[in-house]
Amino acid sequence: MNLRNIAIIAHVDHGKTTLVDELLKQSGAFRDNQRVAERVMDSNELEKERGITILAKATSVVWNDVRINIVDTPGHADFGGEVERILSMVDGAIVLVDAAEGPMPQTKFVVGKALKVGLRPIVAVNKIDRPDARADEVVNEVFDLFAALDATDEQLDFPILYGSGRDGWLAPEPDKPADASLAPLFDLVVEHVPAPSVAEGPFQMIGTILEANPFLGRIITGRIFSGSVKPNQPIKVMDRNGKTLEQGRVSKILAFRGLERQPVEEGQAGDIVAIAGLTKGTVADTFCAPEVTEPMEAQPIDPPTVTMSFIVNDSPLAGTEGDKVTSRVIRDRLLKEAEGNVALKIEESEDKDAFQVSGRGELQLAVLIETMRREGFELAVSRPRVVLKKDEAGTMLEPVEEVVIDVDEEHSGVVVQKMSERKAEMVELRPSGGDRVRMVFHAPTRGLIGYQSELMTDTRGTAIMNRLFHDYQPFKGEIAGRVNGVLLSNEAGEAVAYALFNLEDRGPMVIDAGEKVYAGMIIGIHTRENDLEVNVLKGKKLTNMRAAGKDEAVRLTPPIRMTLERALSWIQDDELVEVTPKSIRLRKLYLDPHERKRFEKTKATA
């Protein structure tokens, strides 16, 4: 059968997954009476909640006797490792761009990778029905971006479609035609994207997506570059260096047919298939016939820039809410995650009760922690730190990100001030329509940890911030951190409303009455710079004397609720976030006050 393999790439929230929904509907992948969820490709629970794609997924449609394999990719820079691998599976890419926002940092990142691999892009200007749409300017910006990324003349001669993925139409002109549908996109993919090139020789395939299935075991998805594969065929797995990891037989071959994966009798070269039956092969490994001796070249993956410590939970409440608490169970889970996610790096500490987990950004690590807590894990995690490295001359280098902030003009001053405090350099400032300005900074990753919530407060929730790894640059010096101290509980028990009411003058609380607390746990934010130990268990003294005003109900100010991302970015280096299936608590690294003082003294002398 005639084949085409394409990826849909774009910045987060530009409408990739919604467009895939419409492509599936209009190609007849669903029955007429079939009930279909919105953003059907976002199958993961966290993806549905957050409205973002985290894992790349493949699907397939048939159009005029041509089978089109479509890969939906994440739009967030933290999950860029997924996108980099996917590009080796496809021969073309649909670059989706918002008609108002234009190309954003993540668009630049992914398109740069796609052009380098030699893919010929199709540009789709989406959300053309937005009142602030500026289609012509956006097309010019896309052209400038392609030229800046060293696109070839062939790649610069890209076809353009305009439309609305949500309403299910794309057309060569911005005005909606009478017979509006996605047919122009399907036809363009068939014409513009080349059929998969097939090499001569025995079966070879690079693993690009790994998943576990309770019935079939490990399933690895990839594109067959040469030869064919059948069930029960003997194959071997080689790593990037050519070392044979295992030999085995293929138990099942699954091909994508709409949203379903169906068993097939043979996988042909050029097609994207999933194979089961091997226990060790993972992402970026070569799956091939036994006679093959050289591994295929895999796409290099950008290095991780942020690291965190995952520590066994040693608080007095450990084990009361989760059932997976030991270091062995946490270690196995992290190693399993690192197998399928090549952008993650796991290192074990010497005492075996802590693990250094390095990734692309805070969001990627927060999603991993959130997934683990839903699986029943209990653990403590440290504040994210950047991965520093030294150059040949011995100069300390740190990761620097390109930050694009779209904000109302009235708030631009406070954004510039806060970014300069974080050692950021402004490289561009221009109007972006509707009394808004777009600012581009080069800022050290260290300074951006925890800035998102502060930016939202400063701009009354109107700013949009996008970040992208730029490169490693010389260390930019110390950056001022949090100015407030914390309020710490000095005893274990349940917090009493009367005590919390009397402590409100000291600062806002982060816990509610009735919550369990322990010595060394953070219960509030101090209004001053120092930490303060307080008693939250102190109840009201009861007497049989009555007086006016004695029996007024205690009215507590609602506490500040810390989400996982906010907690990770808010804590200091001597504090931890305790994560359990039911709670997110903040605590000091050392719960004992004497140990804390000793730690502060050693830090001061150092």
Ligand-binding annotation for 16, yes or no, is yes
Contacts of 179 (CB under 8 A, 6+ apart): none
Helices 327-340 and 362-374, packing angle to 10 deg: 130
Contact 245, 280 (CB under 8 A): yes
Ligand-binding annotation for 505, yes or no, is no
Tell me how far apart the alpha carbons of residues 429 and 191 are, in angstroms, rounded to a whole number.
Answer: 40
Inter-CA distances, 604 with 479, 598, 600, Å: 18, 10, 6
- Least Cα distance to 8 among 102, 114, 167, 140 occurs for 114
- Element holding 332 (H helix, E strand): helix 327-340
**What is the separation of C-alpha 391 from the centre of its chain, rounded to a whole number of angstroms?**
29
Inter-CA distances, 465 with 78, 270, 468, Å: 14, 39, 10
Contact 126, 22 (CB under 8 A): no
Ligand-binding annotation for 330, yes or no, is no
Ligand-binding annotation for 302, yes or no, is no
Residue 499's SS3 state is helix
Tell me how far apart the alpha carbons of residues 504 and 526 are, in angstroms, rounded to a whole number.
Answer: 10
Torsion of CA 515, 520, 524, 530, to 10 degrees: 170
- Element holding 141 (H helix, E strand): helix 135-148
- Least Cα distance to 159 among 168, 170, 149, 150 occurs for 170
Contact 219, 265 (CB under 8 A): no
* HSE (side-chain half, CA atoms, 13 Å) at 104: 25
Inter-CA distances, 212 with 209, 275, 376, Å: 10, 12, 18
Contact 385, 592 (CB under 8 A): no
Cα-flanking dihedrals φ and ψ of residue 228, to 5°?
Answer: -145, 165
Contact 416, 453 (CB under 8 A): no
Ligand-binding annotation for 17, yes or no, is yes
Tell me how far apart the alpha carbons of residues 282 and 297 are, in angstroms, rounded to a whole number.
Answer: 14
Ligand-binding annotation for 601, yes or no, is no
Cα-flanking dihedrals φ and ψ of residue 436, to 5°?
Answer: -115, 155
Ligand-binding annotation for 13, yes or no, is yes
Tell me how far apart the alpha carbons of residues 281 and 339 are, in angstroms, rounded to a whole number.
Answer: 9
Ligand-binding annotation for 128, yes or no, is yes
Tell me how far apart the alpha carbons of residues 505 and 129 are, in angstroms, rounded to a whole number.
Answer: 51
Q: Estimate the share of the chain in helix, then strand, then coil, as percent rounded to the nearest 5.
A: 25, 30, 45
Ligand-binding annotation for 127, yes or no, is yes
Ligand-binding annotation for 126, yes or no, is yes
Q: Where are the alpha helices (DSSP H) in 379-458?
A: 412-421, 445-448, 451-458
Q: Where are the alpha helices (DSSP H) in 395-536?
A: 412-421, 445-448, 451-458, 497-503
**Binding site as annotated, residues for GTP:** 13-18, 126-129
**Binding site as annotated, residues:** 13-18, 126-129
